[in-house]
Amino acid sequence: MRRIGISVLSLMLAFSLTACGAGFNASTRQVKQVTDGVEGTISTGDNLIKAVNILVVETASGAGVLVGTVVNSRPMEDALLGVAVNGVVATVSGNTSLVQNAPITFEGDSANAKAVVPTLNSKAGAHVLVTMFFARAGKLTVLAIVRAQSDRYAGVTA
């Protein structure tokens, strides 16, 4: 009887000390986003396009500038046809061709494209819908945060 009691106690301690008994709401199961930007993916047929760290910076003039990276992971080439922020079409300049593993980067040291909305109609801290239109893959819409033109985004200009 004593052996059974020790076994049961050992088993209970093992579950509680290894967090197996914490259940579905354990803090280690709660994933936290470590960046401001959001991610989205189009995965249909021959398409695998990923948008990472997407956010919009509100400039002093009220314009909105897209920040983030878009990557095509498949051999079939695609193209970024346009971007809209909260339904307002952005002016896109620079690289719009999506060759396999050659990213389109909006803003930053390795930027090769720029997308600007003349009027953002939203303030820093709010969320806006960012829609990207692709020639083959279709469209991708994410809910992105608007950041102020300060701190690490101080150099972002329209």
Residues in the chain: 158
CB atoms within 10 A of CB 131: 17
pLDDT in tens, 118-146: 999 899 999 999 999 999 999 999 999 99
Q: Which CATH superfamily is domain 38-153 in?
A: PCu(A)C copper chaperone (2.60.40.1890)
Quickly state the pLDDT bin for 7 (edges 50, 70, 90). Answer: confident
The helix (run of H) or strand (run of E) holding residue 9 is helix 2-17
Q: What is the distance of C-alpha 48 from the center of its chain?
A: 15
- Of 155, 151, 74, 49, the residue nearest 107 (C-alpha): 155
How does residue 115 score in pLDDT terms, banded at 50, 70 and 90? very high
What is the structure's pLDDT at 46? 84
Mean pLDDT is lowest, of 6-10, 41-45, 58-62, 88-92, for 6-10
Burial class (CB in 10 A: 0-12, 13-18, 19+), 134: buried
Q: What are the pLDDT digits (tens) for 92-113?
A: 999 999 999 999 999 999 999 9
